Every structure is written in C-alpha cells, then in structure tokens.
C-alpha cells in the first residue's frame, strides 16, 4: 500500500500553521511530507532553523520528510554529493533531486550511511533513471517523484505521464505524484494556479484526482502539492485512496425509484468480462432482484455516462445495471436513472473488465 502526503513551505508560512496542518494530516493517515529548499534567501541559519523545527514536528508524528533540492543548493551550503550529513542532521527522511547529476553520483548517494532516500525527478522524459540503474544503486534508497506545475496549462499530459512513469515502474521503484487542492492558496513560488502533476487534474476535486491515479495503477504515493488542503479534502483523499474498490459519483434523476437507488448504491458492481463497446454491464443485480417489480419510466434516448436499469419489459435482463459508453437509441426497455458526474466521465476509460466498483450519489439532476 502506498502513502499519502502533504506539502509545507516554512519560508512562506509560520511554524504554528505548518504544525497544525501536519497534525491534521496525520489524523487522516498521511505519512509523507514534501518541502522545498531549492534556494536559501535571507539569513541561512534562520531559514534552516525554521525548516528543522517543522521537520522535527513531522518526525514526532512519524511522518517522512523529503526535501526538494537542486545542485545549486549544494554549492550554496558547501555540501558534496558524497557527504549528506547535513540532510541527516536536518532530520530529513530523504532528498529529492529536482535536477539530476550524472547518474553515477545519484547511484553513489543511495549508498549513504544514513539511509537517506534519494528521490529522482520522474517528469523530465529522459533516460536518467536508466543511467542511474547502470551504476548499481541501492534500490531500497532510490525513489521516483513527478514534478508539480504552478503555471496553468504547463502540467503533464496523461499519455506522457504514463510513458515517463513506465520507465520507473520497470525497475520496481517506489513512485509518487502530486494532486492539487482546490482549497489551498500557496506553494513554493509567489505565482501558482494550483500544483498538480497532470494538467487535466488542475480543476478537479482531490477525490477524483486520486481515483484516476488508482485506476492507472502506476503510482505508489500521492502528495498534495499546495498548502493548505481543507480537512474535508484530507478525509476524501484518504477515503478514495484506501477504498477497496473505486467509487463513481452519480447524479440521479428525480424520478428514480427507491428500488433503483438500492440497486445502484447498496450493491457492489462487477464489470462483466465479455466487454461491450456500448455498455458496462453489472449483471448480478438481475439475479438478486429477479422477483422485484421495475416499471417502465424515463426511457429517453441514451448518452455516454447514463446509468441504466433494465425494466420489466427486458425479460430475463430485468434489474441489470449498466453504464452507457456511447449514445444509443432507447427502445423503451432501459430506465435512465442517473448519470456519471461529468468530471468523472473520463474515468470510464480506465475501468477494466472483471474489475469491481461502487456508485455513490452525488446530487440530484
């Protein structure tokens, strides 16, 4: 099981605010903390003391802090890649290399005597990880983490994300990516329009972003990039991340019956293995509810994302629940009882035959 994480930026907040946020995140099972130390502005000792204070608090909560750095910081602090005592003394669990070295250096860093994790930027689209692996790193101390993108429309496309992630997955390395809070207001830089890894996530709820990552099944850890997420977001992220099966949000039609609501929301659904290009079928319902009365109503023509319940006119198929994958004519035997939340329609592309899922009621249409 992967881990959930939050981000804190001591240079742009107060210790009290950061500590309270970490306390809240820990309450919901968050284990990772991301922070950024790409450059030090102002009095070095003051800045580092603030970072250490926050890191110490995270450690007291048994959280694992990764510090984002670049080679320029090594020069600024007089640190060399073969002596990472500074980060150990800071209390960090590991360091993330925003910009890489030469492959050999990263590999040697994974053999540090402190057991510090060395996290590699996954979003560059290069062969860097192949280069590092050729120098026999300590895999237990080698991690991967994608970037986040403050500039609107600069985030990764899903296809590119999947390609770059695959280059890490082939080595069975722990991977991480960022989700975006709609409640948070800041990150490491003055200007930001949220901090997602994938551009299409920027305006989605955290819950939906997490569902997408879970269905792609290639990322271990998910971290909220911006601060501070609301308690509701922390809870919904935890719930989506730890769910046994994904849950799709459904808006119900006003004339949906009590029985149809039971069919949808009180049952686990299984995507039949003999897949259709037109519908996702959940067939067990027709056996469980074979003796129930499902009158004809709302048999309008069907569009992608509609939730269908086959009515009395469909004979042995009565009570089967379906999700429409494309527009179709309705011959009167399927009741249109609801619709997948428009923001989650794209998730239908990631459901696989024989996978299980649930519905939850979003709101009335």
Render pLDDT for 245-285 as a digit per residue (tens, 0 to 9).
999 999 999 999 999 999 999 999 999 999 999 999 999 99
Question: Quick one: tokens of 144?
Answer: 């991967």
| CB burial string 286-322: b at 16+ within 10 A, e below | beebeeeebeeebbeebeebbbbbbbebbeeebbbbb
State residue 355's pLDDT score. 96
Q: How far apart are CA 343 and CA 358, in angstroms?
A: 17
Question: Quick one: tokens of 268?
Answer: 């686990």
Would the pLDDT of 365 be above 80?
Answer: no
Instruction: Give ranges for CATH 2.40.100.10 in the chain.
Output: 248-364
Would the pLDDT of 347 be above 80?
Answer: yes
Would the pLDDT of 2 be above 80?
Answer: yes
Would the pLDDT of 192 be above 90?
Answer: no
Assign 363 a pLDDT band (cuts: 50, 70, 90).
low
Assign 364 a pLDDT band (cuts: 50, 70, 90).
very low
Q: Region 211-238: what's the mean pLDDT?
A: 98
State residue 38's pLDDT score. 75
Instruction: Give ranges for CATH 3.20.20.70 in the chain.
Output: 4-243
Phi, psi of 189 (to 5 degrees): -115, 155
Q: Which of 10-14, 16-20, 46-50, 248-252 has the lowest mean pLDDT?
A: 46-50
pLDDT digits (tens, 9 = 90+) for 316-332: 999 999 999 999 999 99
pLDDT digits (tens, 9 = 90+) for 169-178: 999 999 999 9
Mean pLDDT score across all residues of the chain:
95
What fold characterizes domain 248-364? Cyclophilin (2.40.100)
Total-model pTM: 0.96
DSSP bridge pairs for 230: none
Task: Spell out the CATH class of 4-243.
Answer: alpha beta
Which of these, 217, 221, 188, 238, lies nearest to 68 by C-alpha position?
188
H or E segment at 23?
helix 15-27
Which of these, 197, 103, 206, lies nearest to 156 by C-alpha position?
197
Strand locations in the chain (E) = 4-7, 32-36, 64-69, 94-97, 117-121, 142-145, 174-179, 221-224, 247-252, 269-270, 279-282, 306-310, 321-324, 334-340, 356-364
State residue 238's pLDDT score. 98
């Amino acid at each position: 099981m992967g881990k959930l994480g939050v981000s804190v930026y001591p240079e742009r907040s107060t210790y009290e605010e950061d500590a309270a946020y970490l306390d809240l995140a820990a309450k919901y099972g968050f284990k990772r903390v991301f922070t950024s130390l790409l450059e030090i502005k102002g009095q070095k000792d003051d800045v580092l003391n603030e970072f250490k204070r926050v890191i110490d608090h995270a450690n007291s909560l048994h959280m694992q802090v990764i510090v984002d750095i670049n080679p320029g910081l090594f020069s600024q602090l007089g640190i060399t890649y073969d002596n990472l005592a500074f980060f150990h003394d800071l209390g960090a669990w590991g360091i993330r290399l925003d910009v890489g070295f030469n492959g050999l250096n990263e590999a040697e860093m994974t053999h540090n005597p402190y057991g510090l994790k060395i996290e590699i930027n996954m979003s560059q689209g290069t062969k860097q990880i192949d280069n590092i692996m050729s120098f026999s790193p300590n895999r237990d101390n080698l991690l991967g983490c994608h970037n986040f993108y403050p500039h609107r429309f600069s985030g990764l496309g899903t296809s590119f994300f999947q390609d770059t992630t695959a280059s890490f997955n082939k080595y069975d390395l722990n991977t991480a990516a960022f989700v975006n809070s709609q409640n948070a207001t800041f990150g490491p830089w003055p200007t930001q329009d949220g901090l997602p890894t994938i551009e299409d996530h920027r305006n989605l709820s955290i819950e939906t972003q997490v569902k997408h990552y879970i269905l792609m099944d290639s990322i271990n850890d998910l971290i909220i990039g911006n601060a501070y997420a609301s308690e509701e977001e922390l809870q919904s992220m935890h719930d989506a991340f730890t769910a046994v099966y994904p849950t799709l949000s459904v808006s119900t039609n006003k004339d949906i019956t009590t029985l149809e609501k039971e069919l949808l929301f009180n049952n686990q659904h299984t995507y039949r293995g003999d897949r259709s290009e037109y519908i996702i079928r959940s067939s067990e319902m027709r056996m469980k509810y074979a003796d129930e009365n499902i009158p004809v109503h709302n048999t309008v023509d069907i569009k992608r994302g509609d939730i269908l319940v086959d009515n009395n006119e469909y004979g042995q198929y009565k009570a089967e629940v379906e999700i429409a994958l494309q527009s179709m004519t309705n011959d009167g035997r399927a009741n249109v009882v609801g619709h997948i939340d428009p923001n989650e329609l794209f998730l239908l592309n990631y459901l696989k035959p024989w996978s299980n899922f649930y519905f939850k009621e979003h709101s009335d249409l």
